[in-house]
Amino acid sequence: MAFTAAYDEPKTSFSSSAFIWRATDGGTSFTAIPYNSTDFEFFPDDAVVDDALYFSVGRYSTLVAGLRFNVGTAIAATSYTLAWEYYHRTDGWTAIEDLADDTNSFATTGQNDVRFPQQWDAYTITIEGNSSCLWVRCRLSAVDTITEGGANQTDTIKYGQGKLTISGTTDEVPATFTEIYDWLVANQPHISVGMRNDNSFDFTKVGLVISSRLFTSNEIVELGPNCSSNNTSGLNSFNYVTSGYKKDDDTGYGGSTFIIYGRPNSRVFSTSISAKFYGTTLRGGKILSDTYSYPGYVTLLGDWIDCNIELAIGFPTTGSSVNNCRVVGGLLIAGSLTGTFTKINYLCTASTFMYVYYSGFTLSDFGYSFRGSTGYVFYVYQGSGSQASFDWKFLNPGTPLNSLSDSIKPMRIGTPGTKVAWSKIYTYDDSAGTFSADLSASTVPLHGDVGDIIYFSPTSAFSSATGGSPYFEIATGTNDYVYKWEYYQSGWVEVDKEWDQTLNLSQDGTWYMNVSAGSDSTTINGHTGDWIRATIVTKGTGSPESTVNQQNRCSAVNRWNLKEKYSLDLKVVDTDGTAIEAATVTATDENGVEIFSVDTAADGTIAQQETLAKLFYFEPVANPSTLISENVYTTFDLSITKAGYGNLEISGLPLGEKIDWVMKLGAGTQTIIYDSTFYDAIIY
């Protein structure tokens, strides 16, 4: 055998986040068993049918795969039967498959295991208030004349996660899936793994952690127990897999097909920057009852060349490369794009293909299309917690971005306008040193003297992602008061970026705020929570007030920009084709504003430049319905000058296309309007 194998037997102690329950009175009365208890009864001595033990690692945690007990007192009854079950998504409580009970139904004393692998399509349910948990249970399904319910002693319960870790191989002598299959059959025979036609493997009941090199080519590998959310996170870690072959010209071929069974937002399959996938297919597995668009997602770490990826993917990080891949699936989940991601052709089968979190990035030579007739390209899911402005850039896109008025829109932001009440609103009279009563359900005065303050405490932490900007309903009119807005973060910090739909609290609207790094809790007038406040800096005339005061939540409050840009490469030569050095190339937009001005190098080329064709940005004041504005740029002008030569002036060049030209600079001055004859006249 070319590798070292370690199967995850039940040897991990439950943590404080775990839940263990004993259900008595026919499974209706629940009693908690401490996670670290060493001595406890399995069942009462007068147990009845449907009494049970429930086990969960905890909220959003992995499914239990095997349990270890130390039976101190055996169950005693004329006859009884234990049913080991898990909760199946569609079938409810279902018998655990591939069960091997070394405790002999708690009749054999001493330390023994109840062994079983990951179960198919497990579903999270709530047991005694413990929500979003995956459970297994041991239920008394039949019993006759019980006199002793049995008990654990001496040691705590342990559990397993059903993973097989492979290590000890090298690039020269890698492991294979056939070897893994043979090892499981020989060493874990209770687990039903499948192998068909020598090149197709079913590993859906066991997680594979590939910690040293494994090679595969032209095989089919099924993975994942079809669970949802993060319950299967890290189950299959293919950190050192090489799938297929890489040619000298950086193309790939001969990779295997991986079928990943995981429900939405699951992470059944992960890789590292040491993984290598060439000519590989990564496909989302679905069963007939599944109705979702995409099963799970995977972050593309490592090298991915000439691959077909048919599920939701995440962007690579530093050291990773994704090149010339075809993607069909749900939405791309964008975190921090620091790897190389080029020449991607993407077919979106959902209504949105990219969630955007926080960071700015560039997508180069990226082509996309939608299977549906409506949808969004970018979904700005969360704004940043910092004041930085982020740029998301499509450089030389294979598909230009549409307008906001089109059926396939370039972007949307987290649903704005979901208004909720404030937890508390107080006004503070600076001269008297007193607070008002809570005004969260009342009319709030926006007037007063210099130094008076209005305090707002949100129902959740105030930040651009989860908190709320203040929404007001005010009788229309001018307001000449001056306010200073602050939030609390280890002291009062002024909000330095704003989008004020209220026009200084003079009309209905939202005062959108961006908080640099969330807020801290503090106590105001006896109420502890997060706070923002408006201090009167200059007293105005009149007595403005707000009759409705709410939080208006928006998950994308930030100064982000989505840009569609195109690269511009130029080489300047004379009429004989000789490169001209130090020629000045200047581009100006349609309003005469300079875009760039650079000189040619010795070979006649300029450093690559970029032209902006479309710009989308957060602007809730000008566009209260979408909170997004767009600018479209159509043409630009170009001039090339060099002492001793003529001047070349070109107007009306179209934006929206990649430019890579060699241009002739003659002796005379040329002024040209871009048209169909342009290429013959100018391009060398």
Tell the burial category of 292 from Cβ atoms under 10 Å away from its Cβ (0-12, 13-18, 19+).
Answer: middle
The H or E element containing residue 586 is strand 584-589
Q: What gap in Å lies between CA 197 and CA 455, rounded to an integer?
A: 71
**8 Å CB contact between 259 and 285:** yes
Q: What gap in Å lies between CA 646 and CA 666, rounded to an integer?
A: 6
* pLDDT of res. 180: 97
**How far, in Å, are 120, 262, 282, 447 from residue 269 at the CA level?**
16, 9, 10, 58
**8 Å CB contact between 523 and 465:** no
- Contacts of 504-508 spanning 24+ positions with Cβ under 8 A: 504/479, 505/446, 505/472, 505/474, 505/479, 505/481, 505/544, 505/546, 506/474, 506/476, 506/477, 506/478, 506/479, 506/544, 507/474, 507/476, 507/477, 508/472, 508/473, 508/474, 508/476
* Secondary structure (3-state) at 651: strand
Greatest alpha-carbon span in the chain: 111
Please give the structure tokens belonging to residue 352: 């949105």
* pLDDT of res. 352: 81
Q: What gap in Å lies between CA 572 and CA 588, rounded to an integer?
A: 18
Sign of CA dihedral 344, 350, 352, 358: negative
* pLDDT of res. 530: 87
Residues belonging to the chain: 684
Pairing between β-strand 110-115 and β-strand 418-421 as defined by DSSP bridges: unpaired
The H or E element containing residue 179 is helix 177-187
Q: What gap in Å lies between CA 390 and CA 404, rounded to an integer?
A: 20
Residue found by looking up tokens 């930040």 in the block: 463
Q: What are the residues whose beta carbons fall under 8 Å from the beta carbon of 675, sequence distance 6 or more?
A: none
Specify which residues 195 forms β-bridges with.
201
Residue type at position 351: S
Q: What gap in Å lies between CA 37 and CA 2, rounded to an integer?
A: 41
Residue type at position 201: F
Tell the burial category of 419 from Cβ atoms under 10 Å away from its Cβ (0-12, 13-18, 19+).
Answer: middle
* pLDDT of res. 385: 46
Please give the structure tokens belonging to residue 582: 């130090």
* pLDDT of res. 465: 43
**How far, in Å, are 52, 182, 246, 447, 660 from residue 440 at the CA level?**
48, 67, 64, 17, 61
Tell the burial category of 543 from Cβ atoms under 10 Å away from its Cβ (0-12, 13-18, 19+).
Answer: exposed
**8 Å CB contact between 141 and 81:** yes
Torsion angles phi and psi, residue 182, rounded to 5: -60, -40
Those residues of the chain that have pLDDT short of 70 are: 1, 229-230, 315-316, 330-341, 357-359, 381-389, 415-417, 461-468, 497, 515-519, 555, 676-684
Torsion angles phi and psi, residue 664, rounded to 5: -90, 135
What is the pTM assigned to this prediction?
0.81
Specify which residues 547 forms β-bridges with.
none
* pLDDT of res. 314: 75
Q: What are the residues whose beta carbons fall under 8 Å from the beta carbon of 546, sequence distance 6 or more?
A: 443, 444, 446, 472, 473, 474, 505
